[in-house]
Structures are given as C-alpha cells and as structure tokens.
Amino acid sequence: MKLTHALLIVSSSALLNCQDKTHEVTSSESKKSNTTILNIDRISSAYNISHSNDLLDTLNNIACNADGEISEHLDVISTKLYRESFQQFIEYLFNNPGSCIENSLIRGTSASLFTEDLENRDTIINDMRNQISKSDKINKEQKKYVISLLSKVNLKSLD
C-alpha cells in the first residue's frame, strides 16, 4: 500500500509536468519531459508488480494530456505493458474502452510493426490474432475486444 501511495504522488507529479503546454520549449521543459518519462517508467514498473488500476489510471491521464516525446514514450510503454502484464492490462482496457492508453497501445503496436518488412506485417498481425484466440488468460469477450483493437492498427498512417 505504501508503494502504491508513493507512486501515486510521483505519478501526480508526472501528470502536472505534462499538462502545461502554453509556453515555448526551454531547457527546463526538456527537464520536465525527462522527469515525466522517468516517472512513467517508474509507474509502469510498479504496475507490472502490483497491477494496481490506480497506476493505469494515472498513465491514462498522462496519455490524455501528453504530446510529442512523452506521447511516443507512452506508446512504447503501452506495448510493453501489453506484453508483460497481458491479462491485467487487457482487463483494464476492456473496462475502459476508448481510453487514451488504449490509443497509445494502438499507435505503439502500429509503430513496432512499421519497422518490420512489408511482407512480414500481415503475418505478424495474423499470428497475434491467433495467439489471442488461443489464450486462456482472457475471456471470450476480451478476446473479441483485443482482436478489434488489432483491426485499428494502422500502418499506412506511418508510411
């Protein structure tokens, strides 16, 4: 409980750091960005241990207010959470459809597939669909949901 409370304080700081977008970029803003990214990493690491939805709520709030480097980092983090805490992360997304972190996962998956050879992209997506269909970690409705998320992966937006 102490860990979650401490991380919520850190995550609130991360959220505040990315909310103020009204002034020009300065070295202090760069430091804020670096601090926010570091805090995002801490929050995601803590989530992989505790699976606290409060931590995902915080990441989601940051994602809703982030742009640029912070947004791109959240895209990477969301794909990492998908791989490392699949069941719990999917349960959160399933219960929070249309969330900002859901959009981060779609963008992050698109970006990671973009680096693949053109011929391999469809194969990788089909393999992911098959893996989800065979998974015993999520229920039938959640499987449909994840497969629908994969259909939103848009590689053409990155070409």
> What is the reported pTM?
0.78
- For the chain, 159 residues long, give each residue's pLDDT as a single digit of tens: 555 555 555 555 555 555 544 445 456 677 788 999 999 999 999 999 999 999 999 999 999 999 899 999 999 999 999 999 999 999 999 999 999 999 999 999 988 888 777 778 778 888 888 889 889 999 999 999 999 999 898 766 655
CA dihedral 70, 72, 77, 78 (to 10 degrees): 120
In 3D space, the residue among 29, 32, 33, 54 whose CA is nearest the CA of residue 43 turns out to be 54
Sign of CA dihedral 39, 45, 51, 56: positive
- With contact defined as beta carbons under 8 Å apart, do 7 and 46 qualify? yes
d(CA 35, CA 24): 18
pLDDT at 113: 85
d(CA 115, CA 134): 26
